[in-house]
């Protein structure tokens, strides 16, 4: 659910299994208040801080989304 400070969609379960670039474009189109980080499997450490305007898109070696993208 989106907050008052960040109106718009906050999670995209329908993008699991889709191309990461297509997923990023969809997220930005559906919630222009966020920025998207595509996280490849080679990235083993990421910060655990909560980003109110950040969506991380985790992809596999073929750039296919592997987790539900959510704000955070």
**pLDDT (tens digit, 9 = 90+) per residue, 43-72?**
988 888 898 999 999 999 999 999 999 999
Q: What is the predicted pLDDT for the residue at 4?
A: 47
Domain residue ranges of the chain, discontinuous segments joined by +: 1-72
Q: What is the predicted pLDDT for the residue at 57?
A: 98
Q: What is the predicted pLDDT for the residue at 2?
A: 47
DSSP labels, 3-72: -SSS-S--B-GGGTTSBHHHHHHHHHHH-TT-EEEEE-TT---------TTEEEEEB-TTSBB-S--BB-
Domain 1-72 sits in CATH at: 3.30.10.10
**pLDDT (tens digit, 9 = 90+) per residue, 1-31?**
444 454 679 999 999 999 999 999 999 999 9
Question: 38 or 48: whose pLDDT is higher?
Answer: 38
Q: What is the pTM of this model?
A: 0.86
């Amino acid at each position: 659910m989106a907050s008052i400070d960040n109106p718009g969609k906050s999670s995209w379960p329908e993008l699991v299994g889709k191309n990461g670039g297509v997923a990023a474009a969809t997220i930005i189109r559906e919630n222009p208040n966020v920025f998207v980080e595509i996280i490849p499997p080679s990235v083993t450490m990421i910060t655990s801080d909560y980003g109110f305007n950040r969506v991380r898109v985790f992809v596999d070696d073929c750039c296919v989304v592997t987790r539900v993208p959510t704000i955070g």
